């Protein structure tokens, strides 16, 4: 691990950043008053030396002390950055799961791209507790058809597991409507056949390249879903896992890449079989 990565790992809380900002403003204010008094009002020539002392010695020492006392290093820093990916980076990207009505404009144009209509964004709710390296997301899609997506992301520094949950009674009603026996694994494979096959090919190619030759994220889906009971309800869970770059939790580009790729993968499942996430069967 190089020096740049060591510096990136350091996690500085918001309160430390605010304190540093106040320290910078206060130090500069005191130094400016000292310089002003010495150079403009000529009240005391020694104030120039005092101002230089404040800027050159006192300020750096205070800055180092504040960072050393408030910042997180090593394991604690990695845990804090993992939590930030789960609670900030991923839910922000999941908002953009739905497609929006397109607004065309001529090229070239000096206008900035318009902001996404808030009504076109998905509503993302999350559950996360401090110290845990996973978070649960409940995503509500806009529009009359709408739909709900239940998602869990487990982020283990260099590996991620993605759990996509479907209500067991939802699948049972679908099987009853089709007049077929309830086979959760068969239902999932039939409705997400294209996406699962594409991810399987990508995962196979990534495995053939080895960790050093891997250049992207490729999800390997478990052949059989899991059955989990959460909050008193039974869910059928489609599980996917992938390896990540070793600096994913602290490298901004890797964090955004992982979150956006996750959003695209979930969108592919959503677009391939919208009725699997349909609201009438899945209200709560």
In terms of domains, do 51 and 94 share one? no
Global confidence as pTM = 0.72
> Is residue 284 situated within a structural domain?
no
Q: How many CB atoms lie within 10 A of CB 3?
A: 7
Quote the domain boundaries for residue 157: 81-99+120-277
What pLDDT does 246 receive?
Answer: 84
In terms of domains, do 67 and 178 share one? no
What pLDDT does 281 receive?
Answer: 45
In terms of domains, do 57 and 166 share one? no
> Is residue 110 situated within a structural domain?
no
From 85, 102, 101, select the one nearest 93 (Cα to Cα): 85
What pLDDT does 123 receive?
Answer: 94
In terms of domains, do 58 and 95 share one? no
> Is residue 107 situated within a structural domain?
no
- Only one residue has tokens 């559950």, namely 127
Nearest-angstrom CA–CA distance, 142 and 146: 5
Domains: count for the chain:
2
In terms of domains, do 45 and 156 share one? no
> Is residue 232 situated within a structural domain?
yes
> Is residue 112 situated within a structural domain?
no
What pLDDT does 100 receive?
Answer: 84
CA-to-CA dists, residue 212 to 2, 199, 207, angstroms: 17, 20, 10
In terms of domains, do 199 and 273 share one? yes
Give the pLDDT means over successive 10-residue stretches in the chain (284 positions).
52 66 71 63 58 62 58 69 94 93 80 83 94 94 83 94 92 83 87 86 65 68 90 92 88 92 94 82 47
Nearest-angstrom CA–CA distance, 164 and 74: 32
């Amino acid at each position: 691990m190089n020096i740049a990565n060591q510096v990136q790992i350091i996690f500085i809380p918001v309160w430390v950043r605010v304190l540093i900002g106040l320290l910078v403003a206060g130090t500069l204010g005191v130094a400016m008053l000292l310089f002003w008094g010495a150079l403009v009002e000529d009240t005391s020539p020694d104030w120039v030396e005092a101002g230089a002392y404040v800027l050159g010695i006192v300020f750096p020492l205070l800055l180092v002390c504040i960072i050393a006392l408030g910042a997180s290093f090593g394991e604690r820093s990695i845990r804090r950055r993992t939590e930030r990916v789960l609670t900030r980076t991923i839910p922000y990207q999941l908002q953009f799961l739905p497609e929006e009505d397109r607004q065309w404009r001529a090229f070239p144009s000096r206008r900035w791209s318009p902001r996404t209509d808030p009504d076109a964004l998905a509503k993302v709710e999350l559950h996360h507790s401090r110290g845990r390296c996973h978070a649960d997301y409940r995503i509500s899609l806009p529009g009359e058809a709408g739909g709900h997506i239940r998602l869990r992301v487990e982020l283990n520094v260099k590996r991620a597991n993605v759990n996509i949950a479907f209500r067991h009674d939802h699948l049972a009603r679908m099987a009853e409507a089709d007049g077929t026996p309830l086979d959760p694994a068969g239902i999932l494979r039939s409705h997400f056949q294209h996406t699962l096959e594409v991810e399987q090919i990508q995962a196979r190619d990534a495995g053939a390249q080895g960790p050093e030759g891997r250049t992207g994220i490729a999800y390997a889906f478990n052949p059989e879903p899991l059955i989990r009971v959460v909050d008193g309800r039974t869910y059928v869970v489609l599980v996917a896992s992938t390896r990540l770059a070793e600096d994913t939790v602290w490298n901004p580009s890797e964090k955004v890449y992982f979150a956006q790729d996750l959003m695209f993968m979930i969108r592919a499942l959503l677009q391939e079989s919208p009725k699997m996430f349909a609201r009438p069967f899945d209200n709560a």
